[in-house]
């Protein structure tokens, strides 16, 4: 969401999908990428489809101050994005593209390639650059030649010129785990890049080694030149992963999941000094659950931070409790930026699976939440009908 309240979304679809009267059709019965943009009143501005013979996904989206749109994801076959062929060289390959905000036409596109599985999970823009974070296989090439990796799957963050997609630099998180990845990245106005990841045993980043007892969350800061600034492990006694980041002034917020058994997890939020990585709050804030609670999205505006995702069973946030309707439900929680104090959560769901995947806040206090549902949902007085096995939704909350 931009300052004017325009909202853009991306994801995947099969067969035919309708965006307010504009239909897109996939290339056969496999998933293709969609990108759609709406104005501040919810009127569709445009919708685009990209995809080849394999399964393709849009996983992340960002808008710059001028309204242009940056999209990242993965492809399962050769895919044309505008006039650029993104080649499929491994199991999956990552992509990054910039679209004109007014028309949806492609300005540029580039790929992330190895013989393994490469996916761009998160994109962000600021200070004239674009950052892309994700997972990469052996000898991955971000545009500057093959990079050294340690295992079959390492996390990464790569930097590109916003104007033309020109490659700047990349950092591969050389972890000892086989399931390392980076799911979140944000960029400030001068081009400092922050990335959230998961790593096992230990990880080496630009010559700095961070140990771990098991799989831990990691937050890495790079300066405007792409050099190492700081890194911190977000460590509990369990399996931890950073799912989303948000910047509010000189504070960096991180949220994610800590798993304390094979079938149970809880969410966490922490606030850090963006310049040093030092704690802003006395401790983590936890979204507790006897089953699962997974924050997948985060944003901040004014004196509040917001997180959203999915949960099962019952969750507690501060002194408040909420119970699912029988399946996997959506939660939206918030807290005070100063000290993390939780404020009452909201939940939505029926008896199937509903998930919130994204949040966006702007300076006027508007909040947009996107996700998918397997049954009809009602937000306030607005009912969202259900048309297929999985439907997407966008809901906007006023200040």
Cα–Cα distance, 139 to 112 (Å, whole number):
11
DSSP 225-249: TS-EEEEEEE--SSEEEEEEEEEET
What is the tens place of the pLDDT at every residue in 1-47?
998 999 999 999 999 999 999 999 998 888 999 999 999 999 999 99
What is the tens place of the pLDDT at every residue in 130-163?
999 999 988 899 999 998 777 778 999 999 999 9
Q: What is the dihedral of CA 33, 49, 393, 122, to 10 degrees?
A: 40
Cα–Cα distance, 373 to 365 (Å, whole number):
25
What is the tens place of the pLDDT at every residue in 316-327?
999 999 999 988
Q: Taking Cα atoms as reference points, which of 161, 110, 157 lies closest to residue 135?
A: 157
Mean pLDDT across the chain, nearest whole number? 92
- Predicted confidence at residue 11, as pLDDT, reads 97
pLDDT band at 213 (very low <50, low <70, confident <90, very high): low
What is the tens place of the pLDDT at every residue in 273-305?
999 999 999 889 999 987 889 999 999 999 999
- Predicted confidence at residue 177, as pLDDT, reads 64
Using the predicted structure, report yes or no on whether residue 237 has a pLDDT greater than 80.
no
CA torsion through residues 251, 61, 154, 244, sign: positive
- Predicted confidence at residue 331, as pLDDT, reads 96
Q: What is the dihedral of CA 43, 49, 54, 57, to 10 degrees?
A: -40
**Do 307 and 245 form a contact (C-beta atoms < 8 A)?**
no
Using the predicted structure, report yes or no on whether residue 262 has a pLDDT greater than 70.
no
Both structure tokens of 204: 């080496």
Three-state secondary structure call for residue 159? strand
Cα–Cα distance, 352 to 107 (Å, whole number):
40
Cα–Cα distance, 145 to 140 (Å, whole number):
8
% of the chain surpassing 70 pLDDT: 97
Both structure tokens of 44: 């569709």
Using the predicted structure, report yes or no on whether residue 381 has a pLDDT greater than 90.
no
**Do 119 and 179 form a contact (C-beta atoms < 8 A)?**
no
For the chain, the domains span 238-399
What is the tens place of the pLDDT at every residue in 106-125?
999 999 999 889 999 999 99
- Predicted confidence at residue 174, as pLDDT, reads 81
Using the predicted structure, report yes or no on whether residue 90 has a pLDDT greater than 90.
no
**Do 367 and 394 form a contact (C-beta atoms < 8 A)?**
no
**Do 132 and 111 form a contact (C-beta atoms < 8 A)?**
no
Residue in the structure block whose two tokens are 């965006």: 19
Q: Terminus-to-terminus CA distance in the chain, angstroms?
A: 14
**Do 8 and 73 form a contact (C-beta atoms < 8 A)?**
no
pLDDT band at 78 (very low <50, low <70, confident <90, very high): very high
**Do 56 and 24 form a contact (C-beta atoms < 8 A)?**
no
Interval 75-84 mean pLDDT: 96
- Predicted confidence at residue 170, as pLDDT, reads 96
Q: State the pairing for strand pair 228-234/239-248.
A: unpaired
Cα–Cα distance, 2 to 368 (Å, whole number):
11
DSSP 266-279: EEEEEEEETTT--B
């Amino acid at each position: 969401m931009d300052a004017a309240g325009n909202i853009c979304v991306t994801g995947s679809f099969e067969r035919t999908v309708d965006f307010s009267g504009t239909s897109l059709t996939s290339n056969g019965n496999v998933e293709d990428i969609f990108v759609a943009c709406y104005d501040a009143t919810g009127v569709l501005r445009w919708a685009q489809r990209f995809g080849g013979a394999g399964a393709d996904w849009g996983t992340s989206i960002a808008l710059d101050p001028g309204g242009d749109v940056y999209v990242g994801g993965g492809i399962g076959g050769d895919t044309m994005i505008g006039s650029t062929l993104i080649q499929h060289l491994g199991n999956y390959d990552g992509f990054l593209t910039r679209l004109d905000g007014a028309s949806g036409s492609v300005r540029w596109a580039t790929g992330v390639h190895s013989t393994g599985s490469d996916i761009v999970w998160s994109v962000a823009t600021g200070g004239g650059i674009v950052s892309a974070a994700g997972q990469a296989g052996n000898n991955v090439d971000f545009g500057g030649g093959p990079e050294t990796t340690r295992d079959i799957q390492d996390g990464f963050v790569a930097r590109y010129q916003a104007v033309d997609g020109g490659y700047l630099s990349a950092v591969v998180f050389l972890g000892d785990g086989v399931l390392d990845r980076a799911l979140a990245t944000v960029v400030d106005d001068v081009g400092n890049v922050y990335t959230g990841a998961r790593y096992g045993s230990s990880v080496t980043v630009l010559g700095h080694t961070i140990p771990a007892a098991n799989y831990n969350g990691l937050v890495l800061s790079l300066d405007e030149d792409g050099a190492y600034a700081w890194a911190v492990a977000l460590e509990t006694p369990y399996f931890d992963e950073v799912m989303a980041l948000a910047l509010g002034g000189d504070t960096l917020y991180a949220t994610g999941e800590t798993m304390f058994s094979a079938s149970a997890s809880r969410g966490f939020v922490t606030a850090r000094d963006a310049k040093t990585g030092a704690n802003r709050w006395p401790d983590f804030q936890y979204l507790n659950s006897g089953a699962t609670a997974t924050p997948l999205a985060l944003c901040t505006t004014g004196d509040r931070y917001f997180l959203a995702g999915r949960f099962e069973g019952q969750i507690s946030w501060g002194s408040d409790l909420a119970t699912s309707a029988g399946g996997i439900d959506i939660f939206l929680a918030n807290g005070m930026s100063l000290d993390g104090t939780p404020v009452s959560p909201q939940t939505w769901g029926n008896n199937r699976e509903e998930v919130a995947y994204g949040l966006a806040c702007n300076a006027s206090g508007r909040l947009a939440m996107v996700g998918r549902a397997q049954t009809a949902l009602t937000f306030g007085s607005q009912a969202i009908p259900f048309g297929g096995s999985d439907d997407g939704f966008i809901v906007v909350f006023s200040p």
